[in-house]
Protein backbone atom coordinates (compact mmCIF):
# COMPACT_ATOMS: atom_id res chain seq x y z
CA UNK A 1 0.00 0.00 0.00
CA UNK A 2 1.20 3.51 -0.82
CA UNK A 3 0.06 6.70 0.90
CA UNK A 4 0.68 9.98 -0.92
CA UNK A 5 0.79 13.10 1.26
CA UNK A 6 0.74 16.46 -0.55
CA UNK A 7 2.53 19.32 1.20
CA UNK A 8 0.97 22.77 1.60
CA UNK A 9 2.47 24.21 -1.62
CA UNK A 10 0.78 21.44 -3.62
CA UNK A 11 -2.63 22.15 -2.10
CA UNK A 12 -2.10 25.88 -2.57
CA UNK A 13 -1.43 25.35 -6.28
CA UNK A 14 -4.62 23.30 -6.65
CA UNK A 15 -6.79 25.95 -5.00
CA UNK A 16 -5.04 29.18 -6.01
CA UNK A 17 -6.99 31.70 -8.08
CA UNK A 18 -3.69 32.98 -9.48
CA UNK A 19 -2.46 29.95 -11.41
CA UNK A 20 0.33 31.68 -13.30
CA UNK A 21 3.28 30.63 -11.18
CA UNK A 22 6.46 28.70 -11.81
CA UNK A 23 5.99 25.04 -11.10
CA UNK A 24 2.29 25.44 -10.36
CA UNK A 25 1.21 23.40 -13.34
CA UNK A 26 3.33 20.42 -12.32
CA UNK A 27 2.01 20.65 -8.75
CA UNK A 28 -1.57 20.53 -10.01
CA UNK A 29 -0.78 17.70 -12.43
CA UNK A 30 0.95 15.72 -9.69
CA UNK A 31 -2.07 16.11 -7.40
CA UNK A 32 -4.42 14.92 -10.13
CA UNK A 33 -2.07 12.00 -10.90
CA UNK A 34 -2.00 11.06 -7.21
CA UNK A 35 -5.81 11.14 -7.19
CA UNK A 36 -5.92 8.97 -10.30
CA UNK A 37 -3.63 6.39 -8.66
CA UNK A 38 -6.36 5.80 -6.06
CA UNK A 39 -8.40 4.22 -8.87
CA UNK A 40 -5.49 2.23 -10.33
CA UNK A 41 -3.79 0.65 -7.35
CA UNK A 42 -3.61 0.23 -3.61
CA UNK A 43 -3.05 3.93 -3.09
CA UNK A 44 -4.56 6.53 -0.78
CA UNK A 45 -4.05 10.27 -0.67
CA UNK A 46 -3.79 11.70 2.85
CA UNK A 47 -4.20 15.42 3.52
CA UNK A 48 -2.65 16.55 6.78
CA UNK A 49 -5.30 18.18 8.98
CA UNK A 50 -3.65 21.56 9.48
CA UNK A 51 -3.03 21.83 5.74
CA UNK A 52 -6.68 21.01 5.10
CA UNK A 53 -7.77 23.62 7.65
CA UNK A 54 -5.57 26.23 5.96
CA UNK A 55 -6.67 25.39 2.41
CA UNK A 56 -10.24 25.08 3.70
CA UNK A 57 -10.38 28.90 3.88
CA UNK A 58 -10.59 28.82 0.07
CA UNK A 59 -13.15 26.01 -0.18
CA UNK A 60 -16.93 25.99 -0.19
CA UNK A 61 -19.04 23.20 1.33
CA UNK A 62 -19.10 21.14 -1.87
CA UNK A 63 -15.32 21.36 -2.26
CA UNK A 64 -14.92 20.15 1.32
CA UNK A 65 -17.44 17.35 0.82
CA UNK A 66 -15.54 16.14 -2.22
CA UNK A 67 -12.27 16.18 -0.28
CA UNK A 68 -13.77 14.29 2.67
CA UNK A 69 -15.24 11.68 0.29
CA UNK A 70 -12.05 11.24 -1.71
CA UNK A 71 -9.07 11.80 0.57
CA UNK A 72 -8.10 10.82 4.10
CA UNK A 73 -7.94 13.91 6.29
CA UNK A 74 -5.57 13.21 9.21
CA UNK A 75 -6.16 15.58 12.11
CA UNK A 76 -3.64 13.95 14.49
CA UNK A 77 -1.72 17.16 15.14
CA UNK A 78 -4.64 19.61 15.09
CA UNK A 79 -4.88 21.36 18.45
CA UNK A 80 -1.72 19.70 19.78
CA UNK A 81 0.71 22.00 21.60
CA UNK A 82 4.08 22.35 19.79
CA UNK A 83 2.48 21.20 16.51
CA UNK A 84 -0.35 23.72 16.09
CA UNK A 85 0.78 26.26 13.51
CA UNK A 86 3.88 24.29 12.53
CA UNK A 87 2.82 22.56 9.34
CA UNK A 88 6.23 21.12 8.41
CA UNK A 89 6.65 19.56 11.86
CA UNK A 90 3.09 18.21 11.70
CA UNK A 91 3.58 16.75 8.24
CA UNK A 92 6.82 15.11 9.39
CA UNK A 93 5.01 13.52 12.32
CA UNK A 94 1.99 12.31 10.31
CA UNK A 95 4.19 10.93 7.51
CA UNK A 96 6.43 9.15 9.99
CA UNK A 97 3.44 7.63 11.77
CA UNK A 98 1.81 6.62 8.47
CA UNK A 99 5.05 4.94 7.33
CA UNK A 100 4.60 2.34 10.06
CA UNK A 101 1.49 1.14 8.19
CA UNK A 102 2.26 1.92 4.56
CA UNK A 103 4.87 3.09 2.09
CA UNK A 104 4.68 6.89 2.06
CA UNK A 105 5.41 9.55 -0.54
CA UNK A 106 5.49 13.19 0.58
CA UNK A 107 4.74 15.28 -2.49
CA UNK A 108 6.67 18.51 -2.01
CA UNK A 109 8.87 21.11 -3.64
CA UNK A 110 10.84 21.36 -0.39
CA UNK A 111 12.29 17.88 0.03
CA UNK A 112 14.90 19.25 2.45
CA UNK A 113 12.14 19.79 5.05
CA UNK A 114 11.67 16.04 5.41
CA UNK A 115 15.21 14.61 5.41
CA UNK A 116 14.82 13.68 9.07
CA UNK A 117 12.04 11.17 8.38
CA UNK A 118 13.02 9.85 4.94
CA UNK A 119 13.71 6.11 4.99
CA UNK A 120 13.33 3.01 2.85
CA UNK A 121 9.54 3.29 3.23
CA UNK A 122 9.15 7.09 3.27
CA UNK A 123 10.27 9.31 0.40
CA UNK A 124 9.97 13.06 -0.17
CA UNK A 125 9.61 13.70 -3.89
CA UNK A 126 9.09 16.77 -6.06
CA UNK A 127 6.03 16.97 -8.35
CA UNK A 128 8.25 16.77 -11.45
CA UNK A 129 10.04 13.67 -10.15
CA UNK A 130 6.70 12.15 -9.06
CA UNK A 131 5.15 12.56 -12.52
CA UNK A 132 8.23 11.05 -14.18
CA UNK A 133 8.27 8.06 -11.83
CA UNK A 134 4.54 7.37 -12.19
CA UNK A 135 4.92 7.40 -15.98
CA UNK A 136 7.87 5.02 -15.66
CA UNK A 137 5.86 2.67 -13.42
CA UNK A 138 2.92 2.73 -15.84
CA UNK A 139 5.27 1.93 -18.72
CA UNK A 140 6.80 -0.99 -16.81
CA UNK A 141 3.31 -2.29 -16.05
CA UNK A 142 2.06 -1.89 -19.64
CA UNK A 143 5.13 -3.65 -21.01
CA UNK A 144 4.42 -6.59 -18.69
CA UNK A 145 7.59 -6.15 -16.66
CA UNK A 146 5.26 -6.05 -13.65
CA UNK A 147 1.94 -7.85 -13.42
CA UNK A 148 0.53 -5.29 -10.96
CA UNK A 149 0.87 -1.52 -11.14
CA UNK A 150 1.32 -1.58 -7.35
CA UNK A 151 4.51 -3.62 -7.72
CA UNK A 152 5.79 -1.27 -10.43
CA UNK A 153 5.05 1.79 -8.26
CA UNK A 154 6.73 0.22 -5.23
CA UNK A 155 9.82 -0.62 -7.27
CA UNK A 156 10.08 2.77 -8.96
CA UNK A 157 9.53 4.80 -5.78
CA UNK A 158 11.00 2.67 -3.01
CA UNK A 159 13.47 0.16 -4.44
CA UNK A 160 15.20 1.57 -7.51
Partner 1 sequence: MTLKNARLGRAENLSQDLRDSFKLPSEGLIIIESLNPDLRENIISITEEGGIREYLLKLGEFKDASLD
Q: Which parts of this chain interact with partner 1 (CB under 8 A)?
A: 8, 12, 14-17, 19, 28-29, 31-32, 35-36, 38-40, 54-55, 57-63, 65-66, 69-70
Of the candidates 37, 43, 50, which has an alpha carbon nearest to the alpha carbon of residue 7?
50
Contacts of 42 (CB under 8 A, 6+ apart): 1, 2, 150
Question: Residues 53, 87: contact at Cβ < 8 Å?
Answer: no
Taking the complex as a whole, how short is the minimal distance between the CB of residue 24 and partner 1, in angstroms?
10
Taking the complex as a whole, how short is the minimal distance between the CB of residue 105 and partner 1, in angstroms?
17
Based on CB atoms, which residue is closest to partner 1, 42 or 96? 42
Taking the complex as a whole, how short is the minimal distance between the CB of residue 93 and partner 1, in angstroms?
20
E strand residue ranges, 7-137: 43-48, 72-74, 103-107, 122-125
Based on CB atoms, which residue is closest to partner 1, 70 or 110? 70
Amino acid sequence: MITIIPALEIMKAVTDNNIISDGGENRRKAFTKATELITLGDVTVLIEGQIFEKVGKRLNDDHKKFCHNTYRIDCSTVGVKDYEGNIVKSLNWVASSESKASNVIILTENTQNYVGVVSSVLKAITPTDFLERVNRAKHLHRSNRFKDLDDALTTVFFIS
